[in-house]
Chains A and B, each alone.
Chain A
Amino acid sequence: MTHIVVDPVTRIEGHLRIEAEVDGGKVANAWSSSTMFRGIEIILQGRDPRDAWAFTQRICGVCTTVHAIASIRAVEDAIGAKPPPNARLLRNLIIASQCIQDHVIHFYHLHALDWVDIVSALEADPHETSALAQSISDWPKSSATYFKGIQDRVKSLVERGQLGPFANAYWGHSAYKLPAAANLMAVAHYLEALEWQREFIKIHAILGGKNPHLQSFLVGGMATPVDPDAQASLNIHTIAHFKKLIAGAQEFVSQVYVPDLLAVASFYKDWAGYGAGVGNYMVYGEYPLDDEPSPELYIPSGVIRNRDISKVEEFDPSKITEQITHSWYDYEGGDGQALHPSEGETSPNYTGPEPPYQRLDTSRKYSWLKSPRYDGVPMEVGPLSRMLVSYVRGHEKVQGLVNHVLGTLGVGPEALFSTLGRVAARGIETQVLVDKIGDFVDDLASNMGSGELRIHDNSKWEPSTWPDDCTGAGFHEAPRGALGHWVRVQDGKIARYQCVVPSTWNAGPRDSGGMPGPYEAALVGTPVADPEQPIEILRTVHSFDPCMACGVHVVDSGGREVTRVKVR
């Protein structure tokens, strides 16, 4: 039995530590620990709930819109504000573009180097790479000369001995299976994706003034005026700019990302047999298509248990609880409790080893994450959950793409319950969204043309219009999965705030019954050829797209006053 520690887990957002026991070339047991805590929910106590979105937004700068969206929805639910149709469309545009851009960055910049050997690309014949690229896509940047230029650039890094961020990795590891020609193609697209994401995310700069940390969210609507005839509003120039950026995204996703995904996956089909995890999948749903109290959602909600895709349960928010048996927090009623977020309480209490330390005692508390549970069991959230629920619910577009991907790879639906399944689902979702996002622009343009210019519910802006004491919940599908915020507003101020976050669901530690979280469960059985170079562990962990700063949070203390320290 070999004990492995991977800390820092790199190419993620935030700070994650994995400890694992390897026996007979496979992971026998694994523990996921988050090693950073800020306490943003404590900081929110007593503040104006209209400001909360800006605070929670700073939980994460990668998925930089998600906590703002969940926050304004929660406060609107509490105070009874009703955002007008244009606000819904502007938010759908922001959410979809966030998801598209985030998934592309994840595939190329955070995950690809687990599958692609950059050093091997030096040995490629650029003509072979060119032939490969042209056989899988019409993407124009595919000449041998082009790939030779890329290869020379990588060569110059190696020759100068300045590999920078690519230094000292697992190059040459036996787990890398791509031929040199494919490695070179992937390296070229890694660089192209870096250029593309900068261009595409200008859609956020238009909609929010800047990215990261867009600044146009409002409780009750959005702060970006719309008027086809005004210079200082989202106008006809904007609509044209949106369409151009979206057309570019459609090209990149369908001609580069999805073909690359299929090409890479075809060499790693054995990874459809690893990394299954807990086998329960949960989705809150996203993209409201109308303005009713319970709108139709383009990506539907639902719960699948035990990998049974013959049925989907309705999602019931009252079944969510959080446990802290293995988390560095205390519960007043004892550590064995499971509390619903609206009743949540937390006080951080670090009981781990004093830094610097070598090992965590995983029999005790070992993470800043809590253990969320749905109806008492762990749930995986994210693109795979969304595509499974949509697939089973009969979402035509999703069914068509899932069947296409499975058919191309020659595998059955059971292959989805795996490390590779997560990677594929993310690509499928990206294609679904680039094909849908244009509808939101068309609807917005249509509203603007018909004189519907409202962006905000002004009737609930002043705190004097709010109930003295009210509670609300806001649900959102972030790129990494189901996100919920719960808020209580008393006398115009935040009395309680809690977030239950995708990476808490996926990366959380064991619960009171010793049941592992999704990362921990998915790692068991993962092969490890060389414990000194555990690239396989990174593959499975990265397939979830960890976002640790999101995962770590703390709730208020159940209405207890938190003393405000006097500001300097």
Chain B
Amino acid sequence: MDDPSSDFGRELLARGVSRREFLGFCTSLAVMIGLPRSASAAIAEAIENNPKPTLVWLNFQDCAGNTESFLRASKPTAAEVILDLISIDYHEVIMAAAGHQAEANLRSVVESQSGQYIAVVEGSIPTGAGGAYMTVGGRSALQIANEVCGNALATIAAGTCASFGGIPAASPNPTGALGISDAVPGIKTLINLSACPVNAQNLTATLVYFLTYSKWPPLDHLNRPLFAYGKSIHDNCERRAHYDSGQYVEQWGDEAHRDGQCLYKMGCKGPVSFQNCPNIGWNDNTSWPVACGHGCIGCAEPDFWDKMTPFYEHLPGFPGFGRGSDIDKIGFWGTLGVTGAFAAHTLTHLGKRLVQNGGDKAQEGPPASTPLDEGDEK
């Protein structure tokens, strides 16, 4: 790429992106996907030389928040390059064609590039009312998903709705909404990028991973890349020292809140939420929810609209508590009645995760106290 006469070099120059900026971008991607910094050269080479893969983006029961997030991809100039290296042949929010011309574009990809294109799904898939809760061009979401995802090289679920059903699937799930894995079982390669919305950095990094290694990243038991979902929010939280010291925000706007202390008592779900927000931030690492002063709502976890609510009730006690453990015990007993159901769901879920992760997080896992075990069985 040092050669400015190459296509890629010319494109970068046309966009005002210097070689130094481009390599900086590749390095940050390498770090984010868990590779040594030295891998940045391999990433740069892959971006420069691999042919543009085709991508189609399907919007189902959605809010377009994942699309908007994608449009905010950070490292802007280099992310533009990434966009340009993928041919997005169908995306209802940005495409110029409409109506039957738009439908023809999608049909053309499915027919002429079967097994070679990447499908991105945004939004859940309703199964009620014979599919009539969501149609495009008179076809139901399920009909479209079966055809498009069924013939794709890989399917990426962007956001929690596409991954696990998300908000339409929240109780009482009026439309019978499902995530793509339940709606179209047996998809051969499925990557869930849950979060509400997906963090654009995780989406672009997943694509770069594929371009670099010609394979998809290793996934957790929920089909999420380990480079983005391998650790809890709590483990990487910038306020973790305050948690360990028992320094908590008690009221919105109090001195502890202004001082950036722990939001656990205000309902933060960071301890049971797995995502890399504290590491990569949002909007070009400008901030993330806990840094701005509000607790995590666990938006990357399955059924979070039911399992993480009420959002402002704090989690039951956790081991590893430091000097603040007495404060927590009071809070724990006081809220046990309210959070009993929450505790049951969360801990069952967390327990499963720990088992499937090989138990390497056991020392920071669920509380061993019997009251919680009883709560679990309620």
Do A and B interact with each other, yes or no? yes
B177 contacts A by Cβ under 8 Å: yes
Evaluate contact between A13 and B283: CB separation under 8 angstroms: no
Closest 6 CB pairs of A and B: A61-B65, A232-B260, A39-B174, A209-B289, A210-B282, A169-B96
Decide yes or no: A164 and B282 within 8 Å by CB, A7-B138, A230-B259, A549-B62 being known contacts.
Answer: no
Complex formed: what's the CA distance from A198 to B136 in Å? 29
**Contact digits for B81-106, partner A, Cβ 8 Å, 1 yes 0 no:** 00000011101111111111111110
B134 contacts A by Cβ under 8 Å: yes
The smallest beta-carbon distance between B30 and chain A, in angstroms, is 22
Complex formed: what's the CA distance from A332 to B105 in Å? 44
Residue of A191, A212, A221, A538 ringed by the most chain B CB atoms within 10 A: A212
B7 contacts A by Cβ under 8 Å: yes
Which residue of A15, A51, A170, A198 contacts B73 across the interface (Cβ within 8 Å)?
Answer: A198
**Contact digits for B41-63, partner A, Cβ 8 Å, 1 yes 0 no:** 00000000000100000011111
**Contact digits for A235-263, partner B, Cβ 8 Å, 1 yes 0 no:** 00000000000000000000000000000
Chain A: CB-nearest residue to B282 = A210
Which residue of A48, A209, A456 contacts B282 across the interface (Cβ within 8 Å)?
Answer: A209
The smallest beta-carbon distance between B225 and chain A, in angstroms, is 19
Residues of chain B whose beta carbon lies under 8 Å from any beta carbon of chain A:
7, 10-11, 13-15, 52, 59-69, 71-74, 76-77, 80, 87-89, 91-105, 126, 129-140, 143, 166-168, 170-175, 177, 196-197, 199, 251-253, 257-260, 282-284, 286-294, 297, 299, 303, 305-307, 309-312, 345
Chain A: CB-nearest residue to B67 = A61
Evaluate contact between B138 and A162: CB separation under 8 angstroms: no
Evaluate contact between A42 and B172: CB separation under 8 angstroms: yes
A211 contacts B by Cβ under 8 Å: yes
Q: Chain A residues near B11 (CB, 8 Å)?
A: 153, 156
Complex formed: what's the CA distance from A534 to B97 in Å? 11
The A-B contact count (CB < 8 A) is 328
Q: Chain B residues near A191 (CB, 8 Å)?
A: 80
Evaluate contact between A224 and B293: CB separation under 8 angstroms: yes
17 extra interface residue pairs, beta carbon distance < 8 Å, beyond A207-B292, A209-B291, A215-B297: A10-B92, A38-B168, A51-B311, A58-B167, A153-B15, A165-B94, A170-B97, A195-B76, A198-B72, A198-B73, A205-B287, A205-B292, A208-B292, A212-B65, A212-B68, A225-B258, A356-B139
Chain A: CB-nearest residue to B91 = A165
Evaluate contact between B134 and A36: CB separation under 8 angstroms: yes
The smallest beta-carbon distance between A84 and chain B, in angstroms, is 8
A298 contacts B by Cβ under 8 Å: no
Q: Chain A residues near B63 (CB, 8 Å)?
A: 13, 58-62, 64, 549
Chain B: CB-nearest residue to A567 = B306
A interface secondary structure, majority: loop
Residue of A14, A165, A210, A224 ringed by the most chain B CB atoms within 10 A: A210
Evaluate contact between A43 and B64: CB separation under 8 angstroms: no
Decide yes or no: A6 and B99 within 8 Å by CB, A43-B170, A458-B252 being known contacts.
Answer: yes
Complex formed: what's the CA distance from A110 to B263 in Å? 39
Decide yes or no: A169 and B97 within 8 Å by CB, A43-B305, A215-B289, A224-B292 being known contacts.
Answer: yes
Which residue of B88, B137, B292 contacts A216 across the interface (Cβ within 8 Å)?
Answer: B292
Decide yes or no: A232 and B97 within 8 Å by CB, A209-B292, A458-B252 being known contacts.
Answer: no
Residue of B166, B171, B175 ringed by the most chain A CB atoms within 10 A: B171
Evaluate contact between B283 and A204: CB separation under 8 angstroms: yes
A sample of 8 cross-chain residue pairs with beta-carbon separation below 8 angstroms, ordered by A number, consists of A7-B137, A42-B172, A43-B170, A64-B68, A168-B101, A218-B294, A455-B252, A567-B306
The smallest beta-carbon distance between A220 and chain B, in angstroms, is 8
A223 contacts B by Cβ under 8 Å: yes
Evaluate contact between B171 and A43: CB separation under 8 angstroms: yes
Evaluate contact between A13 and B98: CB separation under 8 angstroms: no
Complex formed: what's the CA distance from A201 to B260 in Å? 23
Complex formed: what's the CA distance from A357 to B104 in Å? 17
Which of A72-80, A346-354, A398-406, A423-431 is near enough to bind chain B?
A346-354
Evaluate contact between A48 and B310: CB separation under 8 angstroms: yes
A202 contacts B by Cβ under 8 Å: yes
Complex formed: what's the CA distance from A61 to B93 in Å? 12
Complex formed: what's the CA distance from A156 to B173 in Å? 47
Evaluate contact between B167 and A43: CB separation under 8 angstroms: yes
Evaluate contact between A213 and B197: CB separation under 8 angstroms: yes
Decide yes or no: A40 and B68 within 8 Å by CB, A10-B92, A563-B172 being known contacts.
Answer: no
Chain A: CB-nearest residue to B161 = A58
Evaluate contact between A14 and B139: CB separation under 8 angstroms: no
Decide yes or no: A60 and B259 within 8 Å by CB, A10-B92, A198-B73 being known contacts.
Answer: no
A206 contacts B by Cβ under 8 Å: yes
The smallest beta-carbon distance between B173 and chain A, in angstroms, is 6
Complex formed: what's the CA distance from A362 to B11 in Å? 49
Q: Chain B residues near A566 (CB, 8 Å)?
A: 171
A269 contacts B by Cβ under 8 Å: no
Complex formed: what's the CA distance from A237 to B69 in Å? 25
A139 contacts B by Cβ under 8 Å: no
The smallest beta-carbon distance between B298 and chain A, in angstroms, is 11
Evaluate contact between B171 and A213: CB separation under 8 angstroms: no
Q: Chain B residues near A47 (CB, 8 Å)?
A: 309-310
Evaluate contact between B294 and A209: CB separation under 8 angstroms: yes
Evaluate contact between A564 and B171: CB separation under 8 angstroms: yes
Residue of A54, A226, A353 ringed by the most chain B CB atoms within 10 A: A54
Evaluate contact between B134 and A202: CB separation under 8 angstroms: no
Complex formed: what's the CA distance from A160 to B52 in Å? 10
Which residue of B60, B77, B197 contacts A212 across the interface (Cβ within 8 Å)?
Answer: B197
Complex formed: what's the CA distance from A230 to B261 in Å? 12
A12 contacts B by Cβ under 8 Å: yes
Complex formed: what's the CA distance from A216 to B289 in Å? 7
A461 contacts B by Cβ under 8 Å: yes
Q: Chain B residues near A152 (CB, 8 Å)?
A: 10, 14
Q: Chain B residues near A198 (CB, 8 Å)?
A: 71-74, 76, 283-284
Complex formed: what's the CA distance from A212 to B283 in Å? 9
Interface residues in A315-365 by Cβ distance below 8 A to B read: 328, 348, 350, 352-358
Q: Chain B residues near A549 (CB, 8 Å)?
A: 62-64
A197 contacts B by Cβ under 8 Å: yes
The smallest beta-carbon distance between B323 and chain A, in angstroms, is 20
Complex formed: what's the CA distance from A109 to B97 in Å? 13
A50 contacts B by Cβ under 8 Å: yes
Complex formed: what's the CA distance from A208 to B287 in Å? 8
A150 contacts B by Cβ under 8 Å: yes
Interface residues in A396-427 by Cβ distance below 8 A to B read: none
Q: Chain B residues near A447 (CB, 8 Å)?
A: none
A149 contacts B by Cβ under 8 Å: yes
The smallest beta-carbon distance between A34 and chain B, in angstroms, is 10
Evaluate contact between A209 and B287: CB separation under 8 angstroms: yes
Q: Chain A residues near B52 (CB, 8 Å)?
A: 160, 162
Decide yes or no: A11 and B96 within 8 Å by CB, A201-B283, A223-B294 being known contacts.
Answer: yes
Evaluate contact between B174 and A164: CB separation under 8 angstroms: no
Complex formed: what's the CA distance from A563 to B174 in Å? 11
Q: Chain B residues near A201 (CB, 8 Å)?
A: 72, 283
Complex formed: what's the CA distance from A50 to B95 in Å? 38
Q: Chain A residues near B177 (CB, 8 Å)?
A: 38
Chain B: CB-nearest residue to A550 = B63
The smallest beta-carbon distance between A522 and chain B, in angstroms, is 17
Q: Chain A residues near B139 (CB, 8 Å)?
A: 355-356
Q: Chain B residues near A564 (CB, 8 Å)?
A: 171-172
The smallest beta-carbon distance between A351 and chain B, in angstroms, is 9
Q: Chain B residues near A199 (CB, 8 Å)?
A: 76
Evaluate contact between B260 and A50: CB separation under 8 angstroms: no
Which residue of B61, B62, B77, B97 contacts A195 across the interface (Cβ within 8 Å)?
Answer: B77
Which residue of B88, B91, B101 contacts A169 across the interface (Cβ within 8 Å)?
Answer: B101
The smallest beta-carbon distance between A368 and chain B, in angstroms, is 8
Decide yes or no: A202 and B97 within 8 Å by CB, A216-B292, A221-B252 being known contacts.
Answer: no
The smallest beta-carbon distance between B303 and chain A, in angstroms, is 6
Interface residues in A118-175 by Cβ distance below 8 A to B read: 118, 149-150, 152-153, 156, 160, 162, 164-170
Complex formed: what's the CA distance from A197 to B74 in Å? 11
